Amino acid sequence: MTAVDRPLAAARVLRPWQDQTLPVAERVDALLAEMTLEEKVGQLGSRWVGNDSRPADQPDPDPDVTLNVAPMQDVFAASGTIPLEEASRHGLGHLTRVFGSGPVTAAEGAAEVVRLQSLVVERSRLGIPALVHEECLTGFTTYGATVYPAAIAWGATFDPGLVERMATAIGRDMRAVGVHQGLSPVLDVVRDYRWGRVEETMGEDPYLVSMLGAAYVRGLESAGIIATLKHFAGYSAARAARNHGPVPMGRRELMDMILPPFETAIAEGGARSVMNSYSDVDGVPAAADSWLLTDLLREEWGFTGTVVSDYWAVPFLATMHEVAADTDEAGVLALSAGIDVELPDTLGFGPHLVERVRRGELPEALVERAARRLLTQKVQLGLLDQDWTPEGSVSAGATVDLDSPDNRALAREMAERSIVLLDGGTALPLRAEELRRVAVVGPAAAEPRAFMGCYAFPNHVLPRHPGLGLGLEAPSVLDALRTELPDTEIVHAPGCDVRGEDRSGFAAATAAARAADLCVAVVGDLAGLFGQGTSGEGCDAEDLRLPGVQEDLLAELAATGTPVVVVVVSGRPYALGEVHAGAAALVQAFMPGEEGAAAIAGVLSGRVQPGGRLPVQIPRRPGGQPGTYLQPPLGLNSHGISNLDPTPLFPFGYGTSYTSFEVGDLLISDAEVPTDGEFTVSVRVRNTGGRAGEEVVQLYLHDVLAQVTRPVRQLAGFARVRLEAGTSACVRFHVHADRTAFTGRDLRRIVEPGDVEVLVGTSAADLPCRGVVRLTGPLRVVGRDRRLVTPVDVDPVAGKPVTGEPVAGDPVAGEPVAGEPVTGKVAGKQEGRDAGQS
């Protein structure tokens, strides 16, 4: 019987692992009992067929330019890989990026999935299909698929419900063409704005990242796609913000600032996979850290899914970290620590593992442990069902529209909700009737790729394929303003490039500005990879000045006397102190995706009510990094101690609109609660302006006295509330004492008795409502069963919530709560053209 005939014969006999009436664990046990050691090891590997050669339409490579889509991809490709037929002889765990390696249509990619899966099934004795994984950081990373806003823009929405809907749409598209696992979301909490991958994060606060990350996971998993949490853990805190750099972080900071989003996405989102970080933390690389990958993740948190390696993280243990003598030893270290599947190709998890087991150098239980975890997911996904076929797994591949009207509408909604009006000044919203001519300048004004992150296909892969364009429709701000202002003459001059020192275009740009009634300057980033952009993986910044000569261009535009509306389209926050001083208005758009141009134009015209809030601070000055809002007292401005003032230009959580809001009438249900108790915090939010709008009400806590230093304030809950003009709503936060937990001196997570300051407002700096709750009783040690979420409900009579944050169980609308009211008014938010003055 040939290898091709074996699966056909097997199809006529129902094997125990194919029996859908049996529990998953029994099916996996039966399969493992049938497998040889070689077949178990085979499940731990992967194959990246699309990494074999340079595209035919790619010009000869420039030795000074890399077009890699993964670190050192060219080096590993050049070193040679074995054909899929050989790689899958004993079975295969994963197929890597069938859709994400080159420009293929949905139908072409689906056909390639069928071809590759057929090879995997036919060439192995047991005919076990592979999992197909793809990137999905800004949508399905494939040719022609919708490019949603980058993750930093998700953070600006403060809207978990919207993020969940987006992830569901992404997952449906991926599942329709035979994909099983998505390598997203990124749950790294920003610690240094200079890091290139800030654009891939959801911000600098662990609770915000937790809520949005868990929502993304729920959406992706609801569509049948395994969500992969990355990068576990500490990657975002690399020294000097250098990609893959060492992380000089203690265990306490790691546990309190970096790990909560991962724990929450597992406990509240149901994530089934985790990907390790490239970095080492305090000298221990994540890929070889058994405390992180086994003791904490599995034994303490109870995670039962798979841990997959980031691309080539296993051989990097030898070549980069120098903690293993060679790739084979690196494989042993990674497998022992808790990595189950090696991506994107099998190097460290190769046949040498079989030899080591047989020599008694490696317990077979470690191999079986990893194989069991992956096979469990294959059973759950239906890959081991008797009626599974390669063709059936891509049944919608020929008809699916990966950039459907519904997708684009969702991308537009996400973009509109993410744009942050920093300062409406005297120019916004635009008075179209008074504008005969508008000059649209800046290097991002006519470049739609500026709206897209480094993992969006047009920026991620298409630079390797010149001449193909974007693969989808994505207007520029210049296009969108011509549509938005049809009766206004729009003139354009770029002024300069995003990068470089060329100022030759300044004269034309300033001339256009002088001759116009208004100038809209669109500046910021162009994402790329490994030094080929100003933002993105491997595109770290020395400081936070706008890239190239863009800030100099803005200064010359301001000197013309024409009002200049500055729109910053970027993947990280830049220091805008000097820019703000010369701007008539200031808008921050965090890489808003393919529908970003219309969203920006709508915010400028007033057609769209801006509602984005900052998931990161906007620094005042370009130096003095790193720093975020989560600081103990000496991390803030310390008068008389340091001459450096880290106070931001705009604080975390900040954003204005074309109406105004007040937050007041604070009520706290209890003055004292036990360390295992709960209290309720309620406030009234009022729309005091002349049009409907959305406000994000934010709850912060401050541990007044603790055994270790604690942040002066830390986000503990939020609610995005839409209100018509003149209406109000009651927002109630249900705060369990567990929400005050932190890592104590002995590295146990504790709830300490004592006073906790309660602060409510609309940003980390606008907190007019303040009170105190005393926690009483003994110090409590808490674990995985502690409360990770602050439920919130909004009085449905006075206003409606538009967020997906968890809702407390059936509160009575308008029910009075005990406690003394503390009223306050949000400062610095005024109606109309004065909105946003700081």
- The residues, ordered by sequence, that sit 6+ positions from 193 with a Cβ below 8 Å of its Cβ are 241, 541, 544, 572, 573, 616, 619, 625, 626
Cβ contact 681:791 at 8 Å: no
pLDDT score, position 664: 96
Distance, first Cα to last Cα, the chain: 78
What residue has token string 């480094």? 454
Cβ contact 483:428 at 8 Å: no
Token representation of residue 101: 């390696």
Spatial separation of the C-alpha atoms in residues 478 and 522, rounded to whole Å: 9
Query: Would you call 611 helix, strand, or coil by DSSP?
Result: coil
pLDDT score, position 13: 87
What residue has token string 């009510």? 609
Nearest Cα residue to 250 out of 652, 786, 744, 705: 744
Tell me how far CA of residue 594 lies from CA of 174, 415, 716, in angstroms: 19, 9, 32
Query: Would you call 583 helix, strand, or coil by DSSP?
Result: coil
- Angle at 789 (CA atoms; ends 826, 233), nearest 5 degrees: 105
Cβ contact 274:802 at 8 Å: no
Nearest Cα residue to 92 out of 511, 498, 493, 383: 383
Nearest-10 crossing angle of helices 596-605, 477-484 = 40
Nearest Cα residue to 367 out of 46, 89, 36: 36
Amino acid at the residue 442: G
Tell me, rounded to whole angstroms, the distance of Cα 522 from its chain centroid: 24
Token representation of residue 415: 């973009």
Nearest Cα residue to 665 out of 825, 558, 497: 825
606 backbone dihedrals φ, ψ, rounded to 5°: 95, -5
Spatial separation of the C-alpha atoms in residues 205 and 190, rounded to whole Å: 8
Query: Would you call 130 helix, strand, or coil by DSSP?
Result: coil
Q: pTM score, two decimals?
A: 0.92
Tell me how far CA of residue 81 lies from CA of 89, 129, 612, 786, in angstroms: 14, 20, 47, 47
* Helix extents (H) in 320-404: 327-337, 352-358, 364-380
pLDDT score, position 484: 97
Token representation of residue 578: 């000097």
Bond from prior residue into 405 cis (ω within 30 degrees of 0): no
pLDDT score, position 30: 97
Tell me how far CA of residue 273 lies from CA of 207, 269, 312, 422, 647, in angstroms: 20, 12, 17, 37, 38
* Helix extents (H) in 587-639: 596-605
Spatial separation of the C-alpha atoms in residues 184 and 204, rounded to whole Å: 18
Amino acid at the residue 825: K
Could you please report the per-residue DSSP string of 405-443?
HHHHHHHHHHHHHH-EEEE-TTT-S--GGG-SEEEEEST
Tell me how far CA of residue 726 lies from CA of 517, 559, 629, 688, 696, in angstroms: 34, 40, 33, 5, 17
Cβ contact 49:60 at 8 Å: no
- HEC secondary structure over 734-750: EEEHHHHCEECCCCCEE
794 backbone dihedrals φ, ψ, rounded to 5°: -120, 130
What residue has token string 């949905």? 106
Amino acid at the residue 278: Y
Nearest-10 crossing angle of helices 506-514, 550-558 = 30
Burial 475-486 (b: 16+ CB within 10 A, else e): bbbbbbbbebbe
Cβ contact 709:719 at 8 Å: no
Spatial separation of the C-alpha atoms in residues 369 and 833, rounded to whole Å: 62
CB atoms within 10 A of CB 85: 12
Query: Would you call 380 helix, strand, or coil by DSSP?
Result: helix
Burial of 30 (0-12, 13-18, 19+ CB in 10 A): middle
Can you list the residues of the chain whose pLDDT is less than 70? 1-12, 52-80, 397, 796-838
pLDDT tens column, 202-257: 999 999 999 999 999 999 999 999 999 999 999 999 998 899 999 999 999 999 99
How many alpha carbons fall within 13 Å on the CB side of residue 491? 19
Burial of 105 (0-12, 13-18, 19+ CB in 10 A): middle
Spatial separation of the C-alpha atoms in residues 563 and 582, rounded to whole Å: 9
Nearest-10 crossing angle of helices 24-34, 364-380 = 130
Token representation of residue 190: 């920003």
Q: What is the enclosing helix (H) or strand (E) of 281?
A: strand 280-281
Q: Which residues pair with 263 in a beta bridge?
A: none
pLDDT score, position 55: 52
DSSP character at residue 451: G
Spatial separation of the C-alpha atoms in residues 491 and 142, rounded to whole Å: 34
Query: Would you call 694 helix, strand, or coil by DSSP?
Result: strand
Spatial separation of the C-alpha atoms in residues 591 and 453, rounded to whole Å: 6
Token representation of residue 695: 């406000």
Amino acid at the residue 112: E
- Angle at 261 (CA atoms; ends 260, 265), nearest 5 degrees: 120
DSSP character at residue 240: G
